[in-house]
């Protein structure tokens, strides 16, 4: 029983961290991730 409960707790923790990471990633995409993506895009265009 304890082993199963631990597995369930681990799954819940992973889901919580995944949700937090997705929210943080969305915020980062809106704030600062656009500039490095655009710079990398320009770099690929320059190389081509």
pLDDT in tens, the chain (48 residues): 566 666 666 665 665 555 655 666 666 666 654 555 555 555 555 555
pLDDT of residue 2: 67
Q: How far apart are CA 21 and CA 24, in angstroms?
A: 5
- Residues 15 and 21: their CA atoms lie apart, in Å, by 10
Q: What is the pLDDT of residue 11?
A: 62
Report which of 26, 8, 28 is spatially closest to residue 16, judged by C-alpha positions. Answer: 8
pLDDT at position 17, please?
57
Rounded to 5°, angle at Cα 28 from 23 and 34: 140
Q: How many other C-beta atoms are found inside a 10 Å radius of the C-beta of residue 33?
A: 13
Residue 2 structure tokens: 């304890």
Q: Helix, strand, or coil here: 1?
A: coil
């Amino acid at each position: 029983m304890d082993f199963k409960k631990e597995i369930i707790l681990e799954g819940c923790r992973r889901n919580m961290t995944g949700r937090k990471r997705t929210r943080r990633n969305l915020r980062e995409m809106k704030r600062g991730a656009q500039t490095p993506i655009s710079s990398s895009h320009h770099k690929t265009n320059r190389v081509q």
